[in-house]
């Protein structure tokens, strides 16, 4: 289920949202490690926003 707040965060802080979603499932990884990897692979601002929105909706595999 997607909430308005998570969609707003997908626009305002897409890297942070993706990092938090990864941290929820990969608890053994440190938050800085996750953020570094997400930043490296998520691309630019528009791409990371779209990725965060899709991920929050449960679309990426």
* Model confidence pLDDT, tens digit, residues 16-50: 988 998 999 898 999 999 999 999 988 888 888 88
Q: From CA 54, how far away is CA 32, in angstroms rounded?
A: 22
The pTM is what?
0.73
DSSP 27: T
Determine the pLDDT at residue 1. 42
Tokens of 45: 């601002």
Q: Are 17 and 56 in contact (CB under 8 A)?
A: yes
Q: Taking 70 as the threshold, does the pLDDT of residue 61 lie above it?
A: no
């Amino acid at each position: 289920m997607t909430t308005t707040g998570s969609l707003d965060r997908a626009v305002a802080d897409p890297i942070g949202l993706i990092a938090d979603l990864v941290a929820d499932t990969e608890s053994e990884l440190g938050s800085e490690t996750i953020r570094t990897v997400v930043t490296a692979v998520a691309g630019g601002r528009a791409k990371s926003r779209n990725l965060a929105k899709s991920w929050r909706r449960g679309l990426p595999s």
